[in-house]
Amino acid sequence: MVGIVPADALTDEREKLEEWLSRGFHGEMRWMERDREKRTNPRVLFPCARSVVVVAVNYYTPQKHSNSNDTGKISRYAWGDDYHDVVSEKLKALLAWIKEEFPSAEGKVCVDIQPMMDKVWAARAGFGWIGKHTNLITQDFGSWVFIGELILNLELEYETETIDEHCGTCMLCIEACPTNAIVEPFIVDSNKCISYATIELRTEILPDEIVSNQDGWLYGCDICQDVCPWNRFQKVTEEKRFEPRERNVNANLEEIFNLTQEEYAARFRRSAIKRAKLSGLKRNALALRLSKISDQDSE
């Protein structure tokens, strides 16, 4: 999906961001507190910005998780190659082509790492709407998309239509979240989120509330997307690099425990799973092992 919108400041979204931060819902993600101007105004991030080319890339593949006691589930987005690399490569190629056509063109590629509110820009570009679980929902691919932007110094023709929110009265994602992290429609408290805890949190042990509701997740969590009715429109991606690597749908817990730093670096090279670091993966695996033992004892 591709859409082009003016590089205007996100005034309303800035207010929502400030409120979310003031409630402490970002947990220990301190970088969310920094660069607020850049995060909500592309002309602060890239002073000559005039247009934002927004892209979304489908990453869905049909493999299913196992509920084996010996393994931990990995979020679908991390099954294949790191999306930062894949989407950045595509956007850099697009920028190179634009520069050939328009020698005066300058641009900045943004894929998650840069302070851009990706889902907001995708909604502005007419891709879909931000659902009650706070993921972008598209009518073409459901929510299984990666988002990126190319900020340009060129005035272009812009999208004029957006898509209204179509969650309606559905509450499935809110009801399905085992930790009640979706504290109200369209608002997630990261402190309660399994994905946040298993990927971003840097504590030596996971919070008790997460461990008791971990539901087999080693890295990330897809529950709110798995139950979303709009994901019946999911389509298998044509990008081969998003197909699962070996042992990346479910990871064997014993293998994770025994990984050396060198083995970890080799196994997860160019993988989004690096984000959790080896210590984080081992912490998550230990929590899973203990919770599974506890479940067996209670039976």
Annotated catalytic, 112?
Answer: yes
Give the whole-angstrom CA distance, residue 182 versus residue 173: 8
Give the whole-angstrom CA distance, residue 278 versus residue 44: 35
Tell me the backbone φ, ψ of residue 238, rounded to 5 degrees. -95, -5
**Catalytic residue among 8, 81, 112, 208, which?**
112
Which runs of consecutive H residues, i.e. helices, occur in the chain?
Answer: 11-22, 36-40, 42-45, 83-101, 118-124, 172-176, 194-199, 208-211, 223-226, 253-258, 261-267, 277-298
Please report how many Cα atoms fall inside a 13 Å half-sphere around the Cα of residue 126, on the Cβ side.
Answer: 12
Give the whole-angstrom CA distance, residue 284 versus residue 276: 9
Cβ count near 63 (within 10 Å): 12
Give the whole-angstrom CA distance, residue 281 versus residue 262: 14
Cβ count near 198 (within 10 Å): 27
Residue type, 32: M
Q: Which residues are catalytic?
A: 112
